[in-house]
Structure 1
Amino acid sequence: MAARPHRSLMIRLLLLTVGWLSVGLGVLGIFLPVLPTTPFLLLAAACFMRSSQRFYLWLTHHRHLGPWIRDYLNGQGIPRRAKAYAIGLMWLSILLSAYLVPVPWVRVLLLISASLVSLYILRLPTLPR
């Protein structure tokens, strides 16, 4: 996919900021078990695609980070282990949040959103070994 920078300088700067924060969180997620890596890297790629072709190409062609993004963008999918990890950690954090939040409608909203995200992740193609 080719980068298509936004026309507004302010929007590009905002997207660059969010992109770099996402790269930082994605890299931290490699080392911290409670922080997912792939969603942050995908968010960074999306932000860079709309703000800077240079950074988008850097990220998608990065030796270590690039394959995670390219496999998803090319429609090849994500590894089975990454799916299980993402769904497991998401449900752990959602259930903990639902337990800690005493508002019933917020609990329902958390469970519905976790269910929908789980369905989305499960429907993504699984990368062959």
Structure 2
Amino acid sequence: MITLKKIKIILFLILGCLSLAIGVLGTVLPVLPGGPFYLFAAFCFARSSKRFDNWFRNTSLYKRYVEAFLQKKGMTRREKIRINVIADFFVILSILYVDILLVKVLLLSLALYKHYYFIRKIKTIAPSH
């Protein structure tokens, strides 16, 4: 018999796997942020299974994208610049490709907000050597 606890575990496991998959896509596609999806995957795996939680915590994705946020470190200037340059390239490409003015304005607005967020909201830390 399937209990409510088992359903909850299965649901968190499915959500964790989906979030991890979207996070991986976000790592490859600069217009989709990967970090928040990795954070949500960590949350879901922690509530679903010790085995999945331990597995995810030992992946390079977790160590690279989640640990810094969990420790409230922030990002280095180089990481911020790299992410913004890649994302801006695709935003500019999209603006040039799309013929709908509203979409162009929306893309430009999102790009400007992204820069505001990276400059004002994410702490800049010194690189660890």
Instruction: Judge which range, 108-117 or 70-79, deviates more.
Output: 70-79
Q: In 2, distance between residues paired with 1:56 and 1:114?
A: 34
8 Å CA contact retained: 1:18, 1:44: no
Which of 73, 81, 97 is 2:70 aligned to? 73
Residues 63 and 9 of structure 1: CA distance in aligned 2, closer, same or farther (over 3 Å): closer
What residue is the counterpart of 2:12 in the other structure? 12
SS at match of 1:52: helix
TM-score (norm 1): 0.70
Q: In 2, distance between residues paired with 1:62 and 1:22?
A: 19
Q: In 1, distance between residues paired with 2:55 and 2:36?
A: 13
SS at match of 2:99: coil
What residue is the counterpart of 1:122 in the other structure? 119
What residue is the counterpart of 2:107 in the other structure? 110
8 Å CA contact retained: 1:76, 1:127: yes
Q: Which stretches of structure 1, 4 residues or more, deviate above 6 A after TM superposition? A: none
The unaligned stretches of length 5 or more in structure 2 are 1-6
Instruction: Judge which range, 63-72 or 105-114, deviates more.
Output: 63-72
Based on CA coordinates, which of the two structures has the bigger radius of gyration? 2
What residue is the counterpart of 2:58 in the other structure? 62
Residues 22 and 101 of structure 1: CA distance in aligned 2, closer, same or farther (over 3 Å): same
TM-score (norm 2): 0.70
Identify the structure with the greater helix proportion.
Answer: 2
The unaligned stretches of length 5 or more in structure 1 are 1-6
Count the aligned residue pairs.
Answer: 113
Aligned-residue Cα RMSD (Å) equals 2.7
8 Å CA contact retained: 2:38, 2:65: no
Amino acid at match of 2:69: Y
What residue is the counterpart of 2:37 in the other structure? 43
Deviation at 1:75, TM superposition (A): 1.4
